[in-house]
Amino acid sequence: MVTIEIDGIKTRVEEGTTVLQAARQIGIEIPTLCYHEALTRYASCRICIVELSIEKRGRMRTWIDASCVYPCQEGLIVKTNSEKVKKERKVILELLLSRAPESKILNELAEKYGARKDRFESVDKGKSNCILCSLCVRTCHELIHADVIGTAYRGIRKKVLSPYNIAQDVCIGCTACAFVCPTGAIKVKLGKDRLDIESWPASLEIVKCKKCGKPVGPKVYIEHLRKEVPLSDEVFELCYECRRKMYTTTTWK
């Protein structure tokens, strides 16, 4: 256990706890975008930066670092909302807004920190709405193990894509990528017959409910689940409503 100070509050945490986790434990919120508990840390969006200070060899060393990865150590002093942090977070938001001007969360944070939406214009003029946090890529790789998408190129030209459009062949339509995307950049359209993940693109056939014809889920996804999860047929053949009706009529006979 180590003793640290966050925004003037002293607290004891297990060694190795990140500053972000330690702050949350005592109810201090630090904004994050590319961080997710279930995924490996990437520390790329830099919105979670905080001001850190520690005494080393009689001198106080102060610097800015990402709280989602920095481990707590004895004597660490953290400022999550100092003037410097607020100033730099504002600039980072303005840079992110140049990429994703329509993003709800970015606009909310912008209001809080006084960031201007139109201060900068990025290479794609914000059309993609993607801030390159790579949550979608990490999810598809680490949790879903489908490896449909990845990052390509580097620097300002970096983007997320499905190379050679393998999405059409290997995407299982779980839509976890769209779920985890902080800016809503990944567009999914559920049609009558097909599920379209427009960003990659992938167009997947939908299995329809045997009883009422409403969508159950993408065919590849259903077949994937059928192999992985030992559940009875109606889970894969009926839509949620019809299944409920079936369960209630059968149980409450």
Partner 1 sequence: MNTEKSSVLEKKDFEKILEELKLEGKKHLFPDKLKISVQSATCGKASGADEIYSTLENTLKDEDVILERVGCIGLCQQEPMVNVYVPGWKPVVYANLTPKIIEELAPQWLEGKFPEKNALGQLGPSYLDDMEGILKPVSGIKRIEDLGFFKKQLKIVLRNSGFINPLDIYEYVARGGFYSLYRVLHEYEPDQVIDDIIKSGLRGRGGGGFPTGVKWQSCRKAPGFPKYVICNADEGDPGAYMDRATLEGDPFGILEGMVIGAYAIGSNQGYIYVRAEYPLAVQTLHKAIKIAGEFGFLGKNIMGKDFSFDIKINRGGGAFVCGESTALMASIEGKVGEPRVKHIHTVVSGLREKPTVLNNVETWANVPRIIEMGVENYNKIGTKGSKGTKVFSLVGNVNNNGLVEVPMGITLREMIFNIGGGIPENKKFKAVQTGGPSGGCIPESLLDMPVDFDELIKVGSMMGSGGMIVMDEDTCMVDVARYFLSFLVEESCGKCTPCREGTYQLYKIVDRITRGEGREDDIELMEELAETIKDASLCALGKTAPNPVLTTLRYFKDEYIAHIKEKKCPAGVCKELITYFIIEDKCTACGMCKKNCPVGAIEGEKKVPHKIIQEKCTECGICLSVCKFDAVVKK
Partner 2 sequence: MIDVRESIEQIISKYEKNSESLIPVLQDMQEIFHYLPEEGLRKVSKELKVPLQQVFSVATFYNAFSLTPKGKYIIQVCMGTACHLKGAQEILNELCIKLNVEEKEVTKDGLFSIETVRCLGCCSLAPVININGKTFGNLKPEKVGEIIDEYRKK
Stretch that binds partner 1, among 65-73, 179-187, 215-223, 240-248 (CB under 8 A): 65-73
* Residue nearer to partner 2 on the CB measure, 25 or 168: 168
Asked if 147 is part of the footprint of partner 2 (rule: CB under 8 A), the reply reads yes
Asked if 46 is part of the footprint of partner 1 (rule: CB under 8 A), the reply reads yes
Helix axes 104-113, 83-97, angle to 10 degrees: 150
- For partner 1, which residue of 42, 113, 221, 236 counts as binding (CB under 8 A)? 42
Q: Choosing among partner 1, partner 2, none, which partner's interface includes residue 164 (Cβ < 5 to 8 Å by kind)?
A: partner 2
Q: Choosing among partner 1, partner 2, none, which partner's interface includes residue 141 (Cβ < 5 to 8 Å by kind)?
A: partner 2
Residue type, 237: E
Asked if 40 is part of the footprint of partner 2 (rule: CB under 8 A), the reply reads no
Gap between the Cα atoms of 164 and 134, Å rounded: 19
- For partner 1, which residue of 123, 170, 176, 209 counts as binding (CB under 8 A)? 123
At its nearest, how many Å lie between partner 1 and the CB of residue 7? 19
Asked if 154 is part of the footprint of partner 2 (rule: CB under 8 A), the reply reads yes
Give the residue carrying structure tokens 């599920």. Answer: 195
Asked if 130 is part of the footprint of partner 1 (rule: CB under 8 A), the reply reads no
Asked if 141 is part of the footprint of partner 2 (rule: CB under 8 A), the reply reads yes
The site for partner 2 (CB under 8 A) is made up of 137, 141, 147-154, 162-164, 166
The site for partner 1 (CB under 8 A) is made up of 41-47, 49, 63-66, 69-71, 84, 87-88, 91-92, 95-96, 98-99, 120, 122-123, 131-132, 151, 153-158
